Amino acid sequence: MFSSTEKHIALISCHGDPAAEIGKEEAGGQNVYVRHVGEELAKQGWKVDMFTRHADANLPTIVQHRENCRTIRLTAGPQEFVPRDELAEHVPAFVQSLLKFQRQSGVQYRVVHTNYWISAWIGMELKKLQPLSQVHTYHSLGAVKYQSVSTIPMIATTRLDVEKTVLKTAERIVATSPQEQEHMRSLMSTQGNIDIIPCGTNVDHFGSVSREAARQKLGIASDEQVVLYVGRFDPRKGIETLVRAIGQSQLRNSDKLRLMIGGGSRPGQSDGLERERIESIVGDLGLAGLTQFPGRLSPEELPIYYAAADVCVVPSHYEPFGLVAIEAMACGIPVIASDVGGLQFTVVPEKTGLLAPPKDEAAFAAAIDRILMNPDWSHQLGQAAQERVRSKFSWAGVATQLSDLYLELLAQQSKPVDQVSA
């Protein structure tokens, strides 16, 4: 039906570089999502160009990940790190760079999948200049995020406006969970075409290491009880809640309890400051002896840390999807997560883990104790968690659903105008 040349897609991720090292600076779930979706689409016959902002002059302009899948870093603003809330002024330059790239390579993308609101804006501007269908994934909704933060940034009005407009004008919106769709409907607009396609994970990579091998590698005895956090150091991630919960745990005085807080940080930057703040709470609560900060975990280390743990805790104040939860589940360990957003979709309480109200240290402490004190039940939760991820959240399955969506949009473009539904 379509020649391979027509199956050409641009994924735009202005601030989340798909070729970046994950787990430090602002690189998290969005980078992972775009990179894996891109690679899987290429396996399924698409030519995939992933566009991001060139944020480090030492990095190459083009990174070829595999055949037909590459990251292209476009010049827009200084070639240095710029926080995402300050990227709006570089939107016109990004659009111009993308147009130039198209001219030079002789390609004009007919389907553009944008990620996060800055890229939504880029997609909307590009659409004014050439015919294309826009697919958008939010990764985070300003309308929800601003409910849970104490200081609303200057950029909020622009962001909320762009997010509402793209909901109404994009050919298709991808919500990654029913909860995200519900937020769009209740807080933003009843207009717009929304499909629910979740985020995914590499089910072979995660789950490839046994508990015994992982513990041996990390020097953890078989009778130790390990509580794990993985993610960025950001106050929104709620690491403080986890630390305080450990402080309230009935097991805190047992010499078998161990808390591991994995994630990268840069001294003096926002994530470095959050790590210092967390370390000082750990110190104040007298938990330094049982707490470890292994730093940024590489893709090779992640399955080992998850497999060595008894439980993974995701205490976010707000989480649109939460990749860490499904990575841990794919490794066969139960997850205790905040009862918010996408975590309500991925974690099935009492079946694959437990949910607790965000910021509720006592509830997290009780959940941690329940899991650690009932190893047989905890093992059952872990098995069910692994099954759930294998059946619902593989990257290949996610990419197939996206591919079907893009093909539908391409087919609509080639129909005469009067046959295209509004």
Indicate the Cα dihedral angle 370, 276, 214, 244, nearest 10°: -10
Close Cβ partners of 91 (under 8 Å, ≥ 6 residues apart): 14, 76, 118, 121, 122, 125
Taking CB atoms, the residue at the shortest distance from ligand UDP is: 28
Q: 212 burial class (0-12, 13-18, 19+ CB within 10 angstroms)? A: exposed
In whole angstroms, give the CA distance from residue 162 to residue 183. 16
Residues across the chain: 422
**Shortest distance in whole angstroms from residue 320 CB to ligand UDP:** 8
**Beta bridge pairs of residue 111:** 9, 133
**Shortest distance in whole angstroms from residue 26 CB to ligand UDP:** 8
Strand order across the beta sheet in which 335-338 lies: 291-295, 257-262, 225-230, 311-314, 335-338, 353-356
Q: Which is nearer to ligand UDP, 238 or 322 (CB)?
A: 322
Sign of the four-CA dihedral 47, 48, 53, 57: negative
What the block records as the tokens of 121 is 């804006």
Q: Which is nearer to ligand UDP, 247 or 294 (CB)?
A: 294
Applying CB under 6 A, the residues found at the interface with ligand UDP are 22-23, 28-30, 32, 230-232, 262-264, 296-297, 302, 321-324, 327
Q: Which is nearer to ligand UDP, 29 or 334 (CB)?
A: 29
**Shortest distance in whole angstroms from residue 343 CB to ligand UDP:** 10
In whole angstroms, give the CA distance from residue 110 to residue 410. 7
Sign of the four-CA dihedral 173, 176, 178, 184: negative
Q: Which is nearer to ligand UDP, 230 or 354 (CB)?
A: 230
Q: In 3-state terms, what secondary structure has residue 137?
A: strand
Q: Which is nearer to ligand UDP, 79 or 269 (CB)?
A: 269
- Residue 313's identity, in one-letter code, is V
**Shortest distance in whole angstroms from residue 33 CB to ligand UDP:** 8
**Shortest distance in whole angstroms from residue 324 CB to ligand UDP:** 4
**Shortest distance in whole angstroms from residue 299 CB to ligand UDP:** 6
Contact 305, 206 (CB under 8 A): no
**Shortest distance in whole angstroms from residue 317 CB to ligand UDP:** 11
**Shortest distance in whole angstroms from residue 321 CB to ligand UDP:** 6
Q: Which is nearer to ligand UDP, 313 or 410 (CB)?
A: 313
Cβ neighbours of 364 (radius 10 Å): 29
In this structure, what DSSP letter does residue 75 have?
P
Q: Which is nearer to ligand UDP, 335 or 366 (CB)?
A: 335
